[in-house]
Amino acid sequence: MPNVAAMMERSLPGSVLEVLRTAASVASREPESARELYLVGGMVRDMLRGEASEDIDLSVVGDGPAFASALASELNGDVTKISEFGTAAVEAGSLSIDVATARDETYEHPGALPTVTPAGITKDLARRDFTINAMAVDLSNASWGELIDPHGGMSDLMMKRIRTLHTDSFADDPTRALRAIRYESRLGFKIQPVTVNDMQRDCGNFDAVSPARALADLRHILDEPQRATSLERAEELGVLGSISPAFRIAGRSLKAIQDTPDREPIFHVALIGARLTQAEAASLIKRLDPPVDWRAALGAGSTYQEIASVLERSDLRPSEIAELLEGFPVLALEAQLQLAPATRQKAALRSWLEELRFREPLLSGDDLLAAGVPQGPLVGRLLAELKRARLDRTVGTRDDELTLVKRRLPVMLNDNGGY
Ligand code: ATP
């Protein structure tokens, strides 16, 4: 077993090393909560690649939550959550530490949440997703720094391979498909052909994955800079389609996602929604059951497509552009602007987003009342008329607006029978 203690010294930030040393001393003092203690997961993977990562994952053979609470008090931190699976999170300063009870997992049926039983580190590593994530570093004082790598994770790291530990891995947990793709894009690795085969064979089991879990893994993809590569790959491998047959991403949307690396995730959701049909958006929303901002971002595209051709007309007045675009979420229109070819439609979108939507009449409702407009629906109708006039620049000053009101009021009163 190679010892990576020197590498830990070199690669891990001092604050992380200090937490790991403190954890080791808590474990030696309290063997009933941690008979064995290991660093696991992404930090081991990234350290062996010479990269720093932030989240500390610890696995203890014993009682994770009890150990977490002893560690938190030693670090002057807090235990922030405890789960039914024997895991707990500790926040100490800027560091977050996940503590898990080493466990074995079995799946009652494909895609189900696992049944969990306490186990040793070997079983704990065997339940993990990929070989590169299935390594542990022993943190007990006697064996500090010993690398435990039963599945060839180190060699896969060197060869840049993403490989599952067993052939039914995706049947057990289809969300691993999205994780595999995310690591492939992020690390520049390659999912091994045999793993791709297993993935494509068993992705149908995504049906058993809850909306919340599917959504969480999609969010992880959207949170990473290589999101466009991941989404393209997920579509190519049929993973998006197995989440929902309605889930497809137009080539233009992908390119736009790539071209806007600094935009927030919900903007990228709007880019996906921008080219969906109404039926596709509805079934994707049903499948993912996302929060309201996602619903709006996914759902607005098909409604926009119904009016897009009208925006190509050369004779549209600004007030007509406003009427067409007013009800849309700004984000959805920004997505359409990103996607639109350089035509009148694009110019209309730009003028609405950058200028027209901010144009308001100078007169307020109170001004209209003061000018003699009777309280009631006429106030709103006149304000709307003033707004159209301002959009079309047929009024400039306050006096222009008052003149318009005085001209229109008698006509409206007449039309309305006095109201
Ligand atoms: P990163 O946070 O950098 O994406 P990570 O490896 O820390 O990577 P987490 O999601 O924090 O990822 O998970 C921690 C570890 O838990 C993983 O390294 C892996 O060993 C294991 N793991 C997470 N999700 C799964 C899963 N769906 N199936 C099996 N093992 C998993």
Q: Per residue in 245-260, pLDDT tens?
A: 999 999 999 999 999 9
Q: Is the CB of 175 under 6 A from ligand 1?
A: yes
Same-domain pairing of 139 and 283 = no
Total domain count, the chain: 3
| Residue 176 included in any domain | no
What integer pLDDT is reported at residue 417 of this predicted model? 58
283 CA distance to ligand 1 middle (Å): 29
Q: Report d(CA 219, CA 239) in Å as an integer.
A: 15
Query: Of 133, 184, 199, which is best to mutate to test ligand 1, by the most ligand atoms within 8 angstroms of its C-beta?
Result: 133
- Residue 133 sits in the same domain as residue 27: yes
Clarify whether residues 326 and 385 are in a common domain. Answer: no
Q: Is residue 12 predicted with pLDDT exceeding 80? A: yes
Q: Is residue 206 part of a domain?
A: no
Coil, helix or strand at residue 217:
helix
Give the pLDDT confidence of 273-287 residue by residue, as tens digits. 999 999 999 999 999
H or E stretch at 324: helix 318-325
CA–CA distance, 27 with 34 (Å, rounded to integer): 5
Residues 125 and 87 placed together within one structural domain of the fold: yes
| Whole-number pLDDT of residue 117 | 87
Between CA 143 and CA 71 the distance in angstroms is: 20
Mean pLDDT over residues 367-390, rounded?
94
Q: Does residue 187 form part of some domain? A: no
Q: How confident is the model at residue 116 (pLDDT cuts 50, 70, 90)?
A: confident
Q: Is the pLDDT of residue 419 over 80?
A: no
Ligand 1 atom closest to 43 (CA): 7
Check residue 130 and give its pLDDT: 98
Looking at residue 416, its pLDDT comes to 64
CA of 40 to the centre of ligand 1 (A): 9
Residues 142 and 72 in one domain: yes
> What's the token pair of residue 134?
């299935």
What tens digit of pLDDT does each residue of 155-208 get?
A: 999 999 999 999 999 999 999 999 999 999 999 999 999 999 999 999 888 989
Residue 193 lies in a domain: no
- pLDDT value, residue 113: 80
Q: What is the CATH number of the domain that holds 148?
A: 3.30.460.10
pLDDT at 50 exceeding the cut of 60: yes
Ligand 1 pocket test, candidate residues 81, 106, 123, 129, most atoms within 8 A of CB: 129
Domain identity same for 83 and 100? yes
Same domain, 332 and 411: no
Residue 375: which domain range?
365-415
Residue 164 belongs to a domain: no
* Residue 131 and residue 87 share a domain: yes
**CB-ligand 1 contact for 42 (6 Å cutoff):** yes
> For residue range 184-195, what is the model confidence (pLDDT) as tens digits?
999 999 999 999
- Please identify, among 136, 159, 182, the residue that sits at the C-terminal boundary of a domain: 159
CB of 173 sitting under 6 A from ligand 1: yes
Q: Is 333 contained in some domain?
A: yes
Written as one string, the DSSP assignment of 88-128 is: EEEEETTEEEEEEE-EEEE-SSTTSPPEEEE--HHHHHHTS
Residue 172: CB within 6 Å of ligand 1? Answer: no
Crossing angle for the helix pair 227-236 and 211-222, to the nearest 10 degrees: 130
Q: Distance between CA atoms of 251 and 253, rounded to whole angstroms?
A: 5
Query: For residue 10, is it within any domain?
Result: yes
Q: Which of 341, 358, 375 is the last residue of a domain?
A: 358
User: Domain boundary residue among 103, 132, 159?
Assistant: 159
Cα–Cα distance measured from residue 38 to residue 57, given in angstroms and rounded to the nearest whole number: 8
Is the pLDDT at 20 greater than 90? The verdict is yes
Residue 130 shares a structural domain with residue 256? no
Atom from ligand 1 closest to the CA of residue 57: 14
Q: At what angle do helices 265-273 and 211-222 cross, to 10 degrees?
A: 110
Q: Is the CB of 57 under 6 A from ligand 1?
A: yes
- Same domain for 393 and 351, yes or no, is no
Q: pTM of the prediction?
A: 0.91
- With a 6 Å cutoff on the Cβ, whether 103 touches ligand 1 is no
Distance CA 391, CA 401 (A): 12
Mean pLDDT (the chain, rounded): 94
